[in-house]
Amino acid sequence: MLLPRAVLLLLVLPTHGQNSVTEGPGVLLPPPKGACTGWVAGIPGHPGHNGTPGRDGRDGTPGEKGEKGDPGLIGPKGDTGETGVTGVEGPRGFPGTPGRKGEPGESAYVHRSAFSVGLESRVTVPNVPIRFTKIFYNLQNHYDGTTGKFHCNIPGLYYFSYHITVYLKDVKVSLYKKDKAMLFTYDQYQENNVDQASGSVLLHLEVGDQVWLQVYGDGNSYGVYADNVHDSTFTGFLLYHDTN
């Protein structure tokens, strides 16, 4: 027991020439006041409690920019925005390719009815249809040269005209439809002169209607004339047919 105590005493005695005691590496403790030289230090006490945390330090310098992260999930569709202003019209595009040829349509039936006739001699009988026996055109045979009457076979609107050479007598001519005078023409003969009289009209006809010319009045107005160099003509044709 004596040997360990002697060793311990040697360890705790101050080194020659020292006036203070160390506490830990590099820390000098002053000798206790009033103590004698050669005092013996006690055993170190227990560590004290942790002190309160110090203040936050200054912000460090920003670090380098990190790598780009992965794309996030697609968000929900937003509300439709307001309609924008109409832009300027663009340039005209190139013509498109022609479409397919259509199916053949039904052929349209063309209604035809026309005649043009003339006198071959002077008229001397009043108040009966004038028989125009010189045929210029009567392909549909709707004009009857034996009676001097046009017979309607297609209902619709017709145009009729006549051109009369007046010679030797005055002329009074009327255009009839179904035994009713529709148009009158009068021309007074000038002695030693050949005169002209004419008229035209639009008439709506039904199937079976008849149209003709005749001299009206007394027997002194039958100056309707024709020869090899003078003509008196009667013409009529369908403008358009009824659709119902």
Going residue by residue through the chain, which has 244 residues, state the pLDDT in tens, using 9 for 90 and above: 555 555 555 554 554 444 444 444 444 555 555 555 565 667 888 888 888 888 888 888 888 888 888 888 888 988 888 888 888 888 988 888 898 988 887 667 789 999 999 999 888 788 999 999 999 999 999 999 999 999 999 999 999 999 999 988 889 999 999 999 999 999 888 888 888 899 999 999 999 999 999 998 877 777 898 888 889 999 999 999 998 7
- CATH fold, domain 114-241, is Jelly Rolls (2.60.120)
Q: Return d(Cα 201, Cα 77) in angstroms, integer.
A: 76
Q: Return d(Cα 132, Cα 126) in angstroms, integer.
A: 14
Phi, psi dihedrals of residue 142, rounded to the nearest 5°: -85, -10
Three-state SS for 79-145 is CCCCCCCCCCCCCCCCCCCCCCCCCCCCCCCCCCCEEEEECCCCCCCCCCECCCCEEEECCCCCEEC
Domains of the chain, by residue range, sit at 114-241
